[in-house]
């Protein structure tokens, strides 16, 4: 039971750090607005990548950035 809790905390930490990296970069280039709320679309991308086996925060961030920008380009949004 305690081991499961440790894994859960680690998962949240990796996902949170990946989100911070990706959101910071996307804010810097103007792809997402500066806001205190979480960008749900970006978070969902990171969670999906994590669920598919990527456990490295930098890899998660980079892949989420690429997918976020691709989606924005397909929907005609500034990226």
As to burial, measured by CB atoms within 10 angstroms (0-12 exposed, 13-18 middle, 19+ buried), residue 14 is middle
pLDDT the model gives residue 6: 52
**pTM across the whole model:** 0.82
- pLDDT digit string, tens, across residues 31-76: 998 887 889 999 999 999 999 999 999 999 999 999 999 999 998 7
The pLDDT score that the predictor gives to residue 32 is: 92
How distant is the alpha carbon of residue 24 from its chain centre?
Answer: 10
Confidence tier at 2 by pLDDT (50, 70, 90): very low
Q: What is the spatial distance between Cα 54 and Cα 14, in angstroms, rounded to a whole number?
A: 10
């Amino acid at each position: 039971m305690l081991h499961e809790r440790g894994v859960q905390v680690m998962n949240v930490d990796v996902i949170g750090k990946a989100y911070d990296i990706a959101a910071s970069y996307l804010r810097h280039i103007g792809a997402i607005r500066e806001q205190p709320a979480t960008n749900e679309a970006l978070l969902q991308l990171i969670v999906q990548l994590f669920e598919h086996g990527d456990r490295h925060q930098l890899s998660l961030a980079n892949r989420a950035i690429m997918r976020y920008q691709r989606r924005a380009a397909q929907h005609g949004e500034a990226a």
